[in-house]
Chain A
Amino acid sequence: MNQNELAAKQKRTRQIVTIIVLIIVFIMFVIPFLLVLINVFKIKGDITSDPLALIGEHGFTLQNFPDAMEKMDFWNVFKNSAIITFCATVLTILFSAMASFVIVRNQNWKACALLFALMIASMVIPFQVLMVPLVSVYGGIFGILNSRITLILMHTGFSVSMATFMFHGAIHSNIPLELEEAALIDGCSRWQTFWKIVFPLLKPTVATVAIIDAMAFWNDYLLPSLVLGDKNLYTIPIATQAFYGTYSTDIGLVMAALLLAMLPILILYLFLQKHIVAGVTAGAVKG
């Protein structure tokens, strides 16, 4: 075997190993989702007896969906989740995009540098450290727990640092200062320059921040469980708790609830996927 054949064989072996590893990782990620998909169309008994069977002994059923929706008060909790996720995501994008624009374009201004440094520092503080004081301050002193607005503001506050960091990078590397100067000469105010020129060019980063934050807000359990005590204000993740009884859990209903919870965010991801890749790689290479 000459050197060329040996190199070709080594290359092929490396490719095969890579593919095998990727398949294993893919299966690990997909199996939970597949289990939900398989079992959501079975009754509780069929799931317990053979959770891996494609169709249960009692056949295919859609009954889990209406049952789950009724038990978790689906449309109400969906509305709560949607309002909270939408508002918090929009606020995060607006505040962080505007903040990062000011920070990037005023780098000589020490207050901006300090603000940005504080934001970065805040990203490393675990939420669990803040959770008890947060609830005691907002609940005990201000008495504003049990409100969607409180949760929206808290979500926004916790996510705005990371989003500012992402917008900062995007503006710094992808928006030439000359574009803004051209806009100023064309007749824009600073405000108009941001909204008419800079913000539209941040579309990939907006999409990335939107999907990351929307997923986090939609799926978050801990913060809503601390803030929202009133059943009427429950979000989907808290509402799924209704299926976990002390002595028994209706696993079919849990599966249906999980699928219902997953679908909206999955659809959003599919819509924004193209921009997310562009947002993550923005500025990596010269355009």
Chain B
Amino acid sequence: MASLSLKGIQKIYPNGYHAVTDFNLEVEDKEFIIFVGPSGCGKSTTLRMIAGLEDISEGEFLIDGVKMNDVEPKDRDIAMVFQNYALYPHMTVYENMAFALTLRKVPKDEIDRKVREAAKILDLEKLLDRKPKALSGGQRQRVAMGRAIVRSPKVFLMDEPLSNLDAKLRVQMRTEISKLHETLGTTIIYVTHDQTEAMTLGTRIVVMKDGIVQQINTPEHLYNKPCNLFVAGFIGSPQMNFIDAVVGRDGDNVTLTVGENVLTVPEDEKQILLDGDYVGKTVVLGIRPENISDKEDFLANNQDHIIKSKIKVREMLGAEIFLYFDVNGVQMTARVEPDSPLMTGDEATFALDMRKIHLFDKETEKNLLYGE
């Protein structure tokens, strides 16, 4: 296992397009790092630079302190799991898993032992003689994992390995990958555009947009303290509600006016707004759906943080209900308890948990409370 270091990594294509800009990351041994972001954000390109499949235009990439920029993929001691598995169609499962070891001229009995060990971990023992075309999507995925495991590499790279699976299998394999990380104690770098995968698997998440790293931190930190509007919107499902609010003063209090609703800002946030000279200006108020409540006791205790609207759509999900409503022309979502009496068309009163709000600068989109 190994530690990785990416210093000022850039990827610039011959046509001048900057796919990745100034990427800096230190990966500790046994970490599970997730690269997450929308399509075209540069996450796969960064992974491919780590694998050696793309040249690094600028910057340094080191494994265990050794510079790897110009080292061939085969000599980096890494294994990669591809989005479409990339299993060799003309080889059996056994041959697929043994291929890398055969190339390295590992003795046959050792190859056999390693392949069977990996097959046991991944429950592939009965499929070793089959060709990939005779396997289901989940089985192919496991073979791709097995091919990586048998090599005992320093680093595992996974490029959206679950995106070709159906929803149920994806959840199942997500758990399998998590277990595998625990069992093998390997350093894993995992690319996904699915924020749920990122949140559930990663020890740290790297959020990227347009080739630039937005924030690197633990899932909890990213969820609770996103550094900007993009991270706040990308992490969390349903996504955080964003609405423009005008900062005002009401005696000693600082208020946020959203349409006809006036919300009193708590003390800590109040000071930040005053220090930043935001009074009279418009900021973006962010609040997660679970921090909007229709419970009577909560409403009673938060009379200064009330918003009123008409329910447009009600989605019952069993364990929770999503309520969609408009405030000042912007659609908002509330995640409420399944016993909520509110129905589509009802006039509803909600209270915001102001301790959980986020305030973003409208120009820079930085989080005024947790900007990094």
Please list the residues of chain A having a beta carbon within 8 angstroms of any beta carbon in chain B: 108, 176, 178-179, 181-189, 192, 197, 200-201, 203
Task: Pick the most buried of A178, A186, A203: most chain B CB atoms within 10 A of its CB.
Answer: A186
CB-defined A-B contacts under 8 Å, sample of 12: A178-B83, A178-B84, A179-B88, A181-B86, A182-B88, A183-B99, A185-B51, A185-B52, A185-B73, A186-B100, A186-B151, A201-B89
Q: Using Cβ atoms and an 8 Å threshold, which residues of chain B touch A176?
A: 84, 86
Given contacts A187-B100, A187-B104, A201-B89, contact A182 B82 (CB under 8 A): yes
Q: Using Cβ atoms and an 8 Å threshold, which residues of chain A touch B90?
A: 200-201, 203
Please list the residues of chain B having a beta carbon within 8 angstroms of any beta carbon in chain A: 14, 51-53, 72-74, 78-80, 82-84, 86, 88-90, 99-100, 103-104, 147, 151
Given contacts A186-B74, A197-B88, A201-B89, contact A181 B103 (CB under 8 A): no
Q: Using Cβ atoms and an 8 Å threshold, which residues of chain B touch A182?
A: 80, 82, 86, 88, 147
How many residue pairs link A and B with beta carbons under 8 A? The number is: 54
Chain A residue with minimal CB distance to B76? A185
Given contacts A184-B74, A185-B73, A200-B90, contact A178 B103 (CB under 8 A): no
Q: Using Cβ atoms and an 8 Å threshold, which residues of chain A touch B86?
A: 176, 178-179, 181-182
Task: Pick the most buried of A185, A188, A201, A203: most chain B CB atoms within 10 A of its CB.
Answer: A185
Q: Using Cβ atoms and an 8 Å threshold, which residues of chain A touch B84?
A: 176, 178
Min CB gap B20→A, angstroms: 18
Complex formed: what's the CA distance from A201 to B104 in Å? 22
Contact of B89 with A185 in the complex, beta carbons under 8 Å: no
Complex formed: what's the CA distance from A53 to B223 in Å? 91
Q: Using Cβ atoms and an 8 Å threshold, which residues of chain A touch B79?
A: 185
Min CB gap A181→B, angstroms: 5
Contact of B103 with A192 in the complex, beta carbons under 8 Å: yes
Contact of B100 with A181 in the complex, beta carbons under 8 Å: no
Q: Using Cβ atoms and an 8 Å threshold, which residues of chain A touch B99?
A: 183, 186
Min CB gap B363→A, angstroms: 40
Given contacts A176-B86, A197-B88, A201-B90, contact A184 B103 (CB under 8 A): no
Contact of B53 with A186 in the complex, beta carbons under 8 Å: no
Q: Chain A at the B interface: mostly helix, strand, loop or mixed?
A: helix
Min CB gap A43→B, angstroms: 53
Task: Pick the most buried of A182, A192, A201: most chain B CB atoms within 10 A of its CB.
Answer: A182
Contact of A186 with B103 in the complex, beta carbons under 8 Å: yes
Min CB gap A184→B, angstroms: 5
Contact of B78 with A185 in the complex, beta carbons under 8 Å: yes
Q: Using Cβ atoms and an 8 Å threshold, which residues of chain B touch A203?
A: 90
Q: Using Cβ atoms and an 8 Å threshold, which residues of chain B touch A181?
A: 51, 53, 73, 80, 82, 86
Q: Using Cβ atoms and an 8 Å threshold, which residues of chain B touch A189?
A: 74
Given contacts A178-B86, A179-B86, A179-B88, contact A185 B80 (CB under 8 A): yes
Complex formed: what's the CA distance from A201 to B91 in Å? 10
Q: Using Cβ atoms and an 8 Å threshold, which residues of chain A touch B104?
A: 187
Chain B residue with minimal CB distance to A287? B133
Contact of A187 with B103 in the complex, beta carbons under 8 Å: yes
Complex formed: what's the CA distance from A179 to B82 in Å? 9
Min CB gap B31→A, angstroms: 20
Min CB gap A160→B, angstroms: 25
Partner of A188, one of B14, B74, B82, B147: B74
Sorted nearest first, the 7 A-B pairs with minimum C-beta distance are: A186-B100, A182-B86, A187-B103, A178-B86, A187-B74, A200-B90, A184-B73
Complex formed: what's the CA distance from A185 to B14 in Å? 24
Complex formed: what's the CA distance from A178 to B83 in Å? 9
Min CB gap B179→A, angstroms: 24
Contact of B89 with A184 in the complex, beta carbons under 8 Å: no
Q: A181-B53, A186-B74, A201-B90 are in contact. List 20 more A-B contacts (CB 8 A).
A: A176-B84, A178-B82, A179-B86, A181-B51, A181-B73, A181-B80, A181-B86, A182-B86, A183-B88, A184-B52, A185-B52, A185-B74, A185-B78, A185-B80, A186-B103, A187-B104, A188-B74, A188-B103, A192-B103, A200-B90
Q: Using Cβ atoms and an 8 Å threshold, which residues of chain A touch B78?
A: 185
Q: Using Cβ atoms and an 8 Å threshold, which residues of chain B touch A185?
A: 51-53, 73-74, 78-80
Q: Using Cβ atoms and an 8 Å threshold, which residues of chain B touch A184?
A: 52-53, 72-74
Complex formed: what's the CA distance from A182 to B140 in Å? 14
Complex formed: what's the CA distance from A182 to B73 in Å? 10
Chain A residue with minimal CB distance to B99? A186
Q: Using Cβ atoms and an 8 Å threshold, which residues of chain A touch B51?
A: 181, 185
Q: Using Cβ atoms and an 8 Å threshold, which residues of chain B touch A197?
A: 88
Min CB gap B153→A, angstroms: 9
Chain B residue with minimal CB distance to A108? B14
Min CB gap B54→A, angstroms: 10
Q: Using Cβ atoms and an 8 Å threshold, which residues of chain B touch A179?
A: 86, 88
Q: Using Cβ atoms and an 8 Å threshold, which residues of chain B touch A178?
A: 82-84, 86
